[in-house]
């Protein structure tokens, strides 16, 4: 059995972040939950891959934006074709590349 890495982050708007991860990065919504101790959430990733991202929103709680530009999630796509396809998806979804 391979362990699964889950990266969890809070957000103020679950629906607003989905286009970036689903349309842009090509992830799938793996699971959604609502009303769990005042938390709603969504997990995105690729079925069968050993990682996924979980985003949660606590009702009545404001988390705001990331404090700096250096709060990053970095995904490496070592092969050129998948990398170019990911860039094209991100641009089509309305997101521009940023310099590293």
66 in any annotated domain: no
29 in any annotated domain: yes
- CATH of residue 42's domain is 3.10.180.10
CB 30 within 8 A of CB 46: no
98 in any annotated domain: no
Residue with tokens 């699971």: 31
41 in any annotated domain: yes
Residue 99 has pLDDT above 80, yes or no: no
Number of domains in the chain: 1
55 in any annotated domain: yes
85 in any annotated domain: yes
- Please report the pLDDT score of residue 71 as a whole number: 84
Q: With H, G, I as helix, E, B as strand and everything else as coil, classify residue 74.
A: coil
CB 30 within 8 A of CB 21: no
Comparing C-alpha atoms, which of 78, 97, 99 is closest to residue 89? 97
CB 13 within 8 A of CB 59: no
pLDDT tens, residue by residue, 27-69: 999 999 998 888 999 999 999 899 999 999 999 999 998 888 8
pLDDT tens, residue by residue, 73-84: 888 888 999 889
Task: Record the pTM.
Answer: 0.84
Residue 100 has pLDDT above 80, yes or no: no
Domain that holds residue 84: 5-61+71-92
pLDDT tens, residue by residue, 6-26: 999 999 999 999 999 999 999
């Amino acid at each position: 059995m391979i362990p699964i890495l889950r990266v969890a982050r809070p957000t103020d708007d679950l629906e607003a972040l989905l286009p970036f991860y689903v349309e842009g990065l090509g992830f799938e919504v793996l699971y959604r939950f609502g009303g769990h101790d005042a938390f709603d959430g969504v997990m995105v990733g690729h079925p069968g891959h050993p990682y996924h991202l979980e985003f949660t929103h606590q009702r009545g709680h404001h988390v705001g934006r990331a404090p700096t530009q250096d709060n990053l999630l970095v995904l490496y796509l070592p092969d050129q074709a998948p990398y170019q396809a990911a860039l094209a998806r991100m641009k089509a979804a309305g997101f521009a590349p940023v310099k590293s």
